[in-house]
Structures are given as C-alpha cells and as structure tokens.
Amino acid sequence: MASQPVTFSFLLISILISSASSASFEPLIQLPATTTGRKSHVDDDLYCSSWHLSIETNNAGSWAQISSRCESFVQDYMTGQRYMSDSEIVANYSLGYASSIEIASDGKDAWIFDVDETLLSNLPYYQAHGFGSETFDENSWDLWVDLAEAPAIPASLKLYNALKQMGFKIVVLTGRTENQRNVTEKNLMLAGYTGWERLLLRGPSDEGTPATVFKSERRSVLVNEGYRIHGSSGDQWSDLLGFALAKRSFKLPNAMYYIA
C-alpha cells in the first residue's frame, strides 16, 4: 500500500467526513479525477509526511522501497534539517533514560547499537541511488561498504561516547556479515567510534534468518552471559522487536529503506 498513489484535498476530506458512516470496502482515500501541479506538490508532501510517520511507527509493516512519488520528499527529509533534528531528539531521550540507570560494578550494563543508519550514515551511497527509490543492489552496496567511508551520525556518536563514559558496555549488533568485519571495524573507527565490547555480525549459519530473529538470538546470548540490556538503538523495527528485548528501545529515523 505504500506505493499506492493517493492524493488528498480539502474537498476529498469533506467528502470522507460526510460519507464516513457508510460501510464499504472501497479505499479509504480516493483519487480525485485531476490534480494540478501546484496542488499535487502540496498533496504529495502531506501524503509523504503521513507515509513517513507510518513507517517510523511500524504501522506500514513490511515495505519494499519508497514510491517514486515520495522520492523528493525523502531526499529533502534525509538531507535537510529535519533528519538531523529527529536524530538529535532520539539521542537526547536515549541519554535522558541512560542517565537514570545505576551502573553496577560487574561490567554487565549493556547498550546495543545497530550500525547502518544508526551509528553510520550511508547517505553518500543513497544519494547516488535514488534515496531508496531504486531496487536494492547488493553489488554496489558491498562496494560502498568496502570503502569504509560512511560518516558517523553526529548525535549517535555523541550518545555512544556519553554512554561509554557512563560505564555502559557497548554492543554493536549489525546485519552486516562476518566477511565485512574488517571494513566495518575500520569504518567505525574512522568515523570516531572506539572501545566497543562486542561487534556482532551475521555468520554463515545466520544466512536467510530474518533480521528480527538473528538480532533476538544474539541478544539472548548476551542475556545468558549475564548482560543487562538497558537500551537498544536502531533505525529498523527488526533491531527493536522479537525476544530478549532491551528495557527501552529507541527508533532512529530512516525514510529510505526497510529490513524485515
């Protein structure tokens, strides 16, 4: 449904309100017969803003790629002030929560970070690939990962360092594969990240395992080792759902792609 081209107007909303009491299976939002360029842009922005909220809240569920209708919205969002602001506020809430936790002396107070669009930003890659509007291409992605040039998301780097200083053990848990371990370590360090407790990647036996299951399994191992997972930061709901959950989860924004 994410790619269904729907358009809003005041008129349409008035019609919806007046006809709301009749039960039907027709789409709740209907296409008006025509749209002007100007109105269409406004309508696209409204639609894409609501679509973005629906993916950030997981209301949209699984989705393949952004619709061409929202490509310019996503570009504006990811390259503008709003993405930066949204990332900052998530980090602020994370730090506020972290500050409420008493760190024990046993070194078992843990915080989990995902890598892509959580610690590192792949905007340089996605800028060259339609901001998520193109079908994912594993070859070009792997070449980008091998460059180890993804910059840090500034708010995440500040949060990471603050948590480390507070005594949290940082576990980096990513869907990247073991054969990308060296370039991932290199990239994280070049971006300013140091001193993690673990860097957990997908091994050969994790191939084909959904991200939610893979990440839950790794968290289970940590829990069995005695770690208390206080927080988990990720841009995908598959970072934050499943089992062996963190006490608090923090959803970083990502309007570009979805990982099941």
In the complex with a copy of itself, the residue whose CB is nearer, 26 or 207, is 26
Q: How far is the CB of 221 from a copy of itself (least distance, A)?
A: 24
Spatial CA neighbour of 122 closest among 163, 99, 152: 152
In the complex with a copy of itself, the residue whose CB is nearer, 93 or 136, is 93
Q: How far is the CB of 169 from a copy of itself (least distance, A)?
A: 15
Only one residue has tokens 């025509």, namely 34
d(CA 84, CA 252): 11
Pairing of strands 169-177, 248-251: unpaired
Q: How far is the CB of 253 from a copy of itself (least distance, A)?
A: 7
Does residue 104 touch a copy of itself according to CB under 8 A?
Answer: no
Among 32, 39, 149, 162, binds a copy of itself (CB under 8 A): 162
Instruction: Evaluate whether 234 touches 252 at the Cβ level (below 8 Å).
Output: yes
- The helix/strand/coil state of 21 is coil
Taking the alpha carbons at both ends of the chain, their separation in whole angstroms is 16
In the complex with a copy of itself, the residue whose CB is nearer, 166 or 183, is 166
Site for a copy of itself in 181-210 (CB under 8 A): 192
Among 39, 108, 158, 181, binds a copy of itself (CB under 8 A): 158
Among 3, 5, 16, 147, binds a copy of itself (CB under 8 A): 16
Does residue 64 touch a copy of itself according to CB under 8 A?
Answer: no
Does residue 161 touch a copy of itself according to CB under 8 A?
Answer: yes
DSSP 131: G
Please provide the DSSP assignment of 164-218 as one string. HHHTPEEEEEEEEEGGGHHHHHHHHHHTT----SEEEEE-GGGTT--HHHHHHHH
Among 20, 102, 204, 208, binds a copy of itself (CB under 8 A): 20
Q: How far is the CB of 181 from a copy of itself (least distance, A)?
A: 23
Please give the backbone phi and psi of residue 249, each rounded to the nearest 5 degrees, phi first. Answer: -115, 145
Which residues are near a copy of itself by CB under 8 A?
A: 1, 4, 6, 8, 10, 13, 16-17, 20-25, 27-29, 46-47, 49-51, 53-54, 56-61, 81-82, 84-86, 88-97, 152, 154-155, 157-159, 161-162, 164-166, 192, 248, 250-251, 253
